[in-house]
Structure 1
């Protein structure tokens, strides 16, 4: 099986991988055409690889395209599981829409940027001045209700068609964000099975095969806040199977080469 990776870090430990820098895609186009599966392309590469060259990619096209934009992600989640999505308004950044949101949402509420991760671009809005400052910087107003919680959220990592790991991210006392990148701590105790069932059901419904889902518990209900395609590995260090091993086993289960192959040492095309 011939594997090409566009992200060396994400595919460390996968045997037989040839690494190509994304910017060198057209220089190495023949190698890419000859590959069986292309791993971790950047979003801008996906249309060319999938629709132009008809190549199989991992993560798959559904994961890549839905994971790129939080607004589109939220719209899809609203369509398939509205009871597990915070109340959300997505509007153009106009004066009338700003006024409407301020009349609709009590303080505090949450405003987000469409493309960001690791806690970046997520704001707790506690005043009109804060919201207008956010609105000046964003063409789209992406606003959600603030959900009271006990200071933590659940990160559920899906690889292939299975849950690879799940853990709580516990924020510092009084902190709005729970992300590890923002100082959150990891806890592996008392992971609720029904939350895992929810995430796996949503992932399968959307054909998501590599993502870290963020779930919050509020008033006895589970809410999916978002999912990140390139999730962090800080909470995965104690897992028996590494992420790269899980990816490789999933790829093997999905792709059967026409003849037996033996893993070859990976190589890099600079």
Structure 2
């Protein structure tokens, strides 16, 4: 391992330790102690020994669950270990992560579906619900849902190994998406049939997936992530591609982030489309052809479990928002504002979910 790699790992470790510190500091542990009850109906399931990495990204959500229970005066207990199946007639919360798939299945999203489904069949109320887990990093199911619910999306075609690639009814260039991926991973732009064949033969996506998605490219240079809980828009931000060429707008690609402007004309429309999905919370990626906000919006994706980008002041800085996220800072730390927004979202999520299932 090079010195640069060592420093990178060290910086990530420092950032994670700092993040945990911010989480611990936000919780009223004295009140948590009084609410903790081994016989409580509310259970936070934490399964660290089953995860490849105890301090995965979801640890912020685990702490935020505890904070939500404390803020809302809810007696709770934490269950450690894999034997969650012994419970019935409880309200069970757990954080979504692919590390619950200890056997390395290709469709790791289905593992969580079966966990939630079985717990529900034992008369538990489970967050996330089995329905919600099916939408997590499972683009095949998600786009089928968009079709079934008439949610406006770019034209999307499902392809398998048996598909005649020359007969895909999309104009080049178009996108190829692997169904179990996030943060623009497993996303490819192909400009010709030759490129498509090369992609299939070199990247071998069918070794990881039974089917792929081919999708029309919308002529856009920005999209807006809209995070909702129930019928509330909790957070929004534009991801703006500053180049003249199409590319993913994820902040890891250097996109500019704008937290100010919101297309109010489409607020109710976005809420209504979200309501169709019948999920507790989600991050919608919404865009417009040629960035024309007068046109009907396209919904690119929905994720019921997401990493929010908290609002940050990026004036008078020489780095992008994506670079800011990676920096270790004692003052004006991105990790601090990230923890703040995760705790706010989780508190609203718990409140909405319990009210819905009261």
TMscore range, shorter length: 0.7 to 0.9
Helix, strand or coil for the counterpart of 1:107? coil
Aligned residue for 2:232?
162
| Superposition RMSD in Å | 2.7
Aligned counterparts of 1:107 and 1:235: Cα–Cα separation in 2: 36
Unaligned runs of 5+ in 1: 257-270
Tell me, yes or no, if the aligned pair for 1:117 and 1:228 is still in contact at 8 Å: no
Aligned residue for 2:148?
79
1:253 CA displacement: 4.7
Stretch of structure 1 that moved more, 111-120 or 138-147: 138-147
Aligned residue for 1:216?
287
Helix, strand or coil for the counterpart of 1:167? strand
Aligned counterparts of 1:64 and 1:125: Cα–Cα separation in 2: 30
Residue from 190, 209, 222 that aligns with 1:152: 222
Q: 1:236 to 1:160 in 2, by over 3 A?
A: farther
Aligned runs of 1:12-51 on 2, under 5 Å? 12-13=63-64, 14-15=66-67, 16=69, 24-26=81-83, 29=85, 33=88, 35-42=90-97, 43=109, 44-51=111-118
Aligned residue for 2:345?
246
Q: 1:33 to 1:184 in 2, by over 3 A?
A: farther
Q: 1:45 to 1:106 in 2, by over 3 A?
A: closer
More strand by share: 1
Q: 1:37 to 1:78 in 2, by over 3 A?
A: same
Q: 1:212 to 1:195 in 2, by over 3 A?
A: same
Larger gyration radius, structure 1 or structure 2: 2
Unaligned runs of 5+ in 2: 1-39, 47-57, 70-75, 98-108, 313-336
Aligned residue for 2:43?
3
Helix, strand or coil for the counterpart of 2:136? helix
Tell me, yes or no, if the aligned pair for 2:280 and 2:352 is still in contact at 8 Å: no
Aligned residue for 2:329?
none
More helix by share: 2
- Residues paired across the two proteins, number: 246
Matched, 1:110 2:167: no
Using the size of structure 1 for normalisation, the TM-score is: 0.78
Tell me, yes or no, if the aligned pair for 2:135 and 2:304 is still in contact at 8 Å: no
Tell me, yes or no, if the aligned pair for 1:59 and 1:210 is still in contact at 8 Å: no
Aligned residue for 2:161?
93
